[in-house]
Structure 1
Amino acid sequence: MSQQPVIAFIGAGNMARAIIGGLLENGFTAANIWAAEPDAERLADLAAQGLKTTTDNQAAVAAADLVVLAVKPQIMRAVANDLATAAQQHQPLFVSIAAGISMEALERWLGGDVALVRCMPNTPSLVQTGASGLFANARVSELQREQATQVLQAVGIALWVQSEAELDAVTAVSGSGPAYYFLMMEAMTAAGVKLGLSEATARELTLQTALGAARMASSSDVDAAELRRRVTSPKGTTEQAILTFQAQGLEATVEKAMTACRDRAVDMAAELCKD
């Protein structure tokens, strides 16, 4: 990054540490990163990497150009309220990675008139293959949008959406999406065992097949439907499997599941942000 901002992480859990690791691997200066966290062991680990650490959230905000709010949604109100004075005095960009906390609630808890980005990352960010959706309020400058993008790109791809409501759809696609694939992996492994493979062999073949399919799809100049058609020979083995999936309503089930996920995200936001 050119002209690196000073970044403060409020909370140093798994996702925060994944982003920090990605930043460091991408050449970000450790001395430009603050971590505020009550856990002394976590702070010691981060300090050993050259970060500035503190148990004082307000001190971290006072030092920062960009603040990543990385605490659990259930305690976000208390943390944000405690930061309101520092937020108003220093006016950094706030980037929230907490699921279910609305922009309106965050702005209100931080005292109003703050530059704010909501982000929905996912767990593959822990291995730097994440997918994040981002939405900014009107107070976020172009430079701040670029800085937020660079922070989330440290652990994968970062895509901006046009409305806050779209973040609920992002939750349904990529936020919760890894679990859908894990469920498919479980089912394929179990089926492979029933068909006569050892569990180890079925598992390894399943995981490698998932990895290979994802790499093919991400590097191809055609969509997934065309890739499927190319693998599916008429009256062949793959066709029988695909026809069975379709007869059982796979596409409709996926749509129904993802809609339920989106609806639950909306409900959770209402529960977490109510006065």
Structure 2
Amino acid sequence: MSSTTNTSTQHTSTIGAIGAPSRRNTELALLAFAVVIPVFAYANVGLAINDEVPTGLLGYGLGMGLLAGIGHVVVRRFAAYADPLLLPLATLLNGLGLVFIWRLDQSERLQNLAENAFGAFTPSAPKQLLFSALGLALFVVVVIFLKDHRILQRYTYISMAVALVLLVLPLVPGLGDDTFGAKIWIRIPGVGTIQPGEFAKIILAIFFSGYLMVKRDALALASRRFMGLYLPRGRDLGPIITIWAVSLLILIFENDLGSSLLFFGMFVIMLYVATERT
């Protein structure tokens, strides 16, 4: 009995000393796949278009690996217990996005050569790679200086207002830029065009999460039956439904249906995660 108790106590103290696994090595392994897959895609595009491996393959792979490595080191140092899937998923999506843009660049270059439009081609992929580096820099700043994400809950309604302003900006005359029928860009002199809706997505996610954190119990428990469904009280669900609907309407007027679908999905998923109710 004494031996069993000592063994149990020793086992418990060992677990307490070690703590929960950080899963950073899992993240590192996933990052390796997240870099290798876009590199193979890059090579595949080059072989499909020019029947040869692209000359910039090595540089692309090293660049992606360097960015992923920096992100991993920062997470390992400042957010050791973060979810190990988020950084690899972001790296994979970013890498595949760069491959798609490079594929479009090659098609445009071949079209210009066929039309003898020399000097009119400006590749977009290098600029997107620069944006990837800037995005990583912003990620590093957030991870290092935002020690506790719960601080953002203080700015729930401020986030809502800022997000709506960003969504409306492309509709402002003289500021919005109509590209291929979609009014989702704004033109800033000396900088170029940016898409404020991309920032609004992040800020609206902060609003949704902050609001649902406070109201999730009321949304999950206090409900009334309507047409066979149990729905939350209007005063609890009303504000978030209103902001979601306004966001969708703005995006529909801007002909940005892809973002509208993304907003709808984000809203439904976060509502389900908060309430655990189908």
In the superposition, the TM-score normalised over structure 2's length comes to 0.27
Q: For CA contacts below 8 A with separation 6 or more, give which structure has more relative contact order.
A: 1
Q: Specify which structure has the higher proportion of helix.
A: 2
Larger Rg over CA atoms: 2
